[in-house]
Amino acid sequence: REGRPTSPRDAWDEDTAEATGPCPASAQKPQSNRVSTRSTTLKQVMFMPGQPAKDPKAEAYRKAGIARVEEWSMALIPENIRRDVVVAVQEVQCGDPNCAPIDTAITIVFSSGGSGMVGIPMEVKDVTLDHVKSVYPPSEILTRWAAGEDADWPPLDEELDLAESNMPRLRFVPGQRVECRVGPDPVTGWATGS
C-alpha cells in the first residue's frame, strides 16, 4: 500500500506507477476527463454496446417485482428453517421458441448445502402470489433441503408418467434382442443388439 494515493486529491503517475503526492487544484484534470468512482457517474458512463438504454420506470417495476417475489418466497418457507436460507429471484431470458421469452427464476439455497430452483414463465413484474404458490415446493421438500438432503422438485415420477403417456407403444420389451438399422445400406446396414 505504501506509495499509493490515500485520497482522491492525490495524483498517480501512470508512467512510473508511483504516487506523486497531493495534486494542486490547478493541476487536476477537468471533471469531464476524469473517471469517477461515484456510482451515479458510473451509471451514466457504463453501457453495453448495441443494447438500448433501460427505461428507469421499467427497471423500478422489475426491482419492485423481485423484492415482492423474494418476500413471498420467504413467507412460504416454514419459520423454523427460514433463518438458514437465502432466496434469490432473477429474470432469465429463454431462447426456446416454445416457452416464454423471459422466465422468473426463484433459487432457494440453505446453509446446509440443500437447494432447489423453480421457474415461472413470465416477467417478474407480472408474477402474483398465486403464481409463486403454484410452483413452490411443499414444506416437506423445503425441510429436506434445509437438512442438506437431495429432494427432487417437481417430482420426477410425475414428469416421467407424463412423458410415457405421450410415447408410442414399444414393439418389443426392454432387454429383448433386436436387429437395428445402423447404416444407409438396406442389406448390410443392420446390426443385432439388445
Chain-centroid distance of CA 55 in Å reads 22
Q: Which three cell numbers stand for residue 121?
A: 414463465
Q: What is the pLDDT of residue 78?
A: 96
Residues sharing a CB contact under 8 Å with residue 85, sequence separation 6 or more, in sequence order: 74, 77, 108, 109, 110, 111, 146
Backbone angles phi, psi at 78, to 5 degrees: -55, 140
One digit per residue, the tens of pLDDT, for the chain of length 194 reads 444 444 444 444 444 444 444 444 444 444 444 444 444 444 444 555 666 667 889 899 999 999 999 999 999 999 999 999 999 999 998 877 777 889 999 999 999 999 999 999 999 999 999 999 999 999 999 999 999 999 888 876 655 555 555 666 667 777 788 787 788 888 888 888 76
Q: What is the pLDDT of residue 181?
A: 77
Assess contact for 4 and 19: CB atoms under 8 A.
Answer: yes
Q: What is the pLDDT of residue 161?
A: 57
The structure's pTM equals 0.56
Q: CB count, 10 Å around CB of 173?
A: 6
Assess contact for 132 and 119: CB atoms under 8 A.
Answer: no
Q: CB count, 10 Å around CB of 116?
A: 20
- List, in sequence order, every residue forming a beta bridge with 104; answer none if it has no partner: 91, 120
Q: What is the pLDDT of residue 51?
A: 60
